[in-house]
Amino acid sequence: MLLLTAFWPGLAGAGALGLVVGGLVGWPARPAVPLALCGLAALLAALALAGIVPGLLGLWLEGAGLLLPAYLLGCALGALARHRVARP
């Protein structure tokens, strides 16, 4: 909970950036990159939950574990909005 109070501006920024990028780019042609990014987000979350990386590097890892899913969710919502608007 402490991380959420400290990282909320970054989470909002990552979500907004993902929303803009997803809206500009749209859905990817090949699903390999989004699946790899989701796998990376899951790996970061697992490492952060395990708590095996101490100190400042662990804080960076936990921050990335929070920010990457927010960015990916923003990208998905932006691409969905672009898809909905582009439909005839």
pLDDT in tens, 12-50: 999 999 999 999 998 888 889 888 988 988 888 888 888
Q: What is the pLDDT of residues 40-86, one digit of tens each?
A: 888 888 888 888 888 898 888 888 888 888 999 999 999 999 988 87
Q: What is the 3-state secondary structure (H, E, C) of the chain?
A: CHHHHHHHHHHHHHHHHHHHHHHHHCCCCCCHHHHHHHHHHHHHHHHHHHCCCCHHHHHHHHHHHHHHHHHHHHHHHHHHHHHHHHCC
| pTM of the predicted protein model | 0.82
